[in-house]
């Protein structure tokens, strides 16, 4: 206490040296700007979803997004049908194990695209879909969704994964 | 901060400026906070696949006469099937309760040498096989085949 008193008597003005702080902030800002994603494609999986990891991935593209989580299937963030532990209710499936709701929703989307394409000849009908599925999704459920998409003319499936950092 | 000195004729005067860094630091703090909150440090990408129906529609003369199909079974067993002019069914037994990756890749490489025109593989799985394994196999098989189709529907 006495030491502080002594030093304050010698130099009553204590100024904070913020030049070095500004330097640090500039470095952090440059790092953040460099790592900031500038992609216009927004892929935001729902909470609790575990997206698979892969090493050799291509850049994401703009397409209709179908999300398969433990309890729900969403198309373009709109809930389409519910799932019980990643599985469809048996009433939801056709005899060919194709999801009725997903098929109906994609048919609606296809009609909308057709209308836009008719009005604007420059706009082409998109046959791509982005599949954002949880790692625990059984292939049976995935087949029902992909089958519905294929039935509606969607022929390019883009499976979303997280870029893995480690060695393959 | 000494910004500079100005010589005006015989008399020399020094001009000392103190740059006020406090508002700059304030701006940086706000910017960094905003970027930290809005930044996504996960890099997302895609794996391409097509429905198997497309592979069947090829009628080009250079199209391969054989098609290759692989099915993953829940017990770790895999089945590789060659259809077309030549017919072959190769079961690959499980290794330590999972798929024998080395043997599967070795078998497929052998088939690629035998049928060099084949560049499409149809991958399917039993209903219970999880998506994680499907993505894993799609990634493993991509160096061998130009296109991976998903089958079973």
CATH number at residue B102: 3.30.420.40
Nearest CA in chain A to B47: A159
pLDDT of res. B15: 74
Co-location of B22 and B60 in the same domain: no
Q: Indicate whether A121 and A67 sit together in one domain.
A: yes
Contacts of A147 in chain B (CB under 8 A): 51, 153
Q: What is the DSSP letter of B62?
A: T
For the stretch B31-77, pLDDT in tens is 889 888 877 777 788 888 888 764 444 455 566 678 899 999 988 99
Note whether residue A63 is domain-resident: yes
The mean of the pLDDT values for chain B is: 82
Confirm whether B45 is domain-assigned: no
pLDDT at residue A39, as a whole number: 63
Supply the DSSP string of B27-46, one letter for each residue: HHHHHHHHHHHH-----EEE
Query: What pLDDT score was predicted for residue A11?
Result: 61
Q: Does B8 fall in a domain?
A: yes
Q: Is the pLDDT of residue B99 over 90?
A: yes
Quick one: B26 and B57 in the same domain? no
The Cα–Cα gap between A36 and B98 comes to: 39
* Residue B65 CB contacts under 8 Å (≥ 6 apart), including other chains: B84, B85, B117
Q: Which two tokens stand for residue A81?
A: 């049908």
Which of B24, B36, B45 is facing A59, going by the closest CB pair? B45
Residue numbers of the domain that contains B79: 50-150
The residues pairing with A93 across neighbouring beta strands, listed in sequence order, are A99
Are residue A137 and residue A75 in the same domain, yes or no? yes
Whole-number pLDDT of residue A10: 59
Q: Which pLDDT does position B6 carry in this prediction?
A: 46
By the 8 A CB rule, do B39 and A36 touch? yes
Question: Domain range holding A27?
Answer: 2-35
- Please report the ipTM that was assigned to this predicted complex: 0.77
What is the model's pLDDT at position A146? 93
Burial class of residue B46 in the structure, from the number of CB atoms within 10 Å of its CB (0-12 exposed, 13-18 middle, 19+ buried) = buried
Tell whether B140 is covered by a domain.
yes
Residues B55 and B77 in one domain: yes
Q: What is the pLDDT of residues B13-28, one digit of tens each?
A: 567 777 788 888 889 8
User: Which residues of chain A fall below pLDDT 50?
Assistant: 1-3, 7-8
Q: Taking 90 as the threshold, does the pLDDT of residue B133 lie above it?
A: yes
- CB contact (8 A) between residue B45 and residue A161: yes
What's the structural domain count of chain A? 2
- Is there a contact between B128 and A21 if contact means CB atoms under 8 Å apart? no
Q: Are strands B11-15 and B120-125 parallel, antiparallel or unpaired?
A: unpaired
At B115-128, the pLDDT tens digits run: 888 889 999 999 99
Top-confidence residue, B55 or B79: B79
Q: Do A58 and B46 touch (CB under 8 A)?
A: yes
Same structural domain for residues B72 and B139?
Answer: yes
Q: How many CB atoms lie within 10 A of CB A112?
A: 10
């Amino acid at each position: 206490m006495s030491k502080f008193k002594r030093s304050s008597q010698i130099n009553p003005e204590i100024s904070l040296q913020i030049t070095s702080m500004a330097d640090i902030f500039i470095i952090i800002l440059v790092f953040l700007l460099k790592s900031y994603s500038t992609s216009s494609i927004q892929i935001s999986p729902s909470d609790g979803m575990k997206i698979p990891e892969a090493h050799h991935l291509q850049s994401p593209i703009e397409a209709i997004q179908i999300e398969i989580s433990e309890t729900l299937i969403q198309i373009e963030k709109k809930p389409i049908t519910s799932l019980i532990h990643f599985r469809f209710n048996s009433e939801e499936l056709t005899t060919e194990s194709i999801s009725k709701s997903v098929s109906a929703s994609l048919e609606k989307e296809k009609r909308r695209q057709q209308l836009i394409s008719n009005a604007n000849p420059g706009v082409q009908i998109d046959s791509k879909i982005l599949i954002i599925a949880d790692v625990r999704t059984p292939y049976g459920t995935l087949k029902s969704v992909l089958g519905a998409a294929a039935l509606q003319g969607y022929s390019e499936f883009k499976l979303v994964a997280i870029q893995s950092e480690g060695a393959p | 901060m000494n910004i500079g000195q100005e010589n005006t004729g015989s008399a020399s005067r020094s001009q000392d400026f103190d740059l006020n860094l406090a508002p700059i630091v304030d701006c940086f703090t706000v910017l960094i906070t905003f970027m930290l909150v809005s930044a996504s440090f996960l890099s997302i990408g895609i794996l391409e696949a097509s429905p198997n129906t497309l592979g069947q529609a090829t009628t080009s003369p250079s199209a391969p006469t054989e098609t290759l199909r692989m099915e993953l079974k829940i017990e770790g067993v895999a089945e590789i099937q060659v259809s077309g002019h030549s017919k072959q069914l190769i079961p690959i037994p499980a290794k330590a309760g999972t798929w024998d990756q080395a043997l599967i890749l070795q078998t497929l490489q052998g088939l690629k040498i035998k049928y060099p025109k084949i560049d499409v593989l149809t991958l399917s799985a039993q209903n219970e096989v999880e998506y994680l394994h499907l993505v894993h196999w799609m990634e493993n098989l991509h160096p061998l085949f130009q296109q991976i189709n998903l089958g079973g529907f």
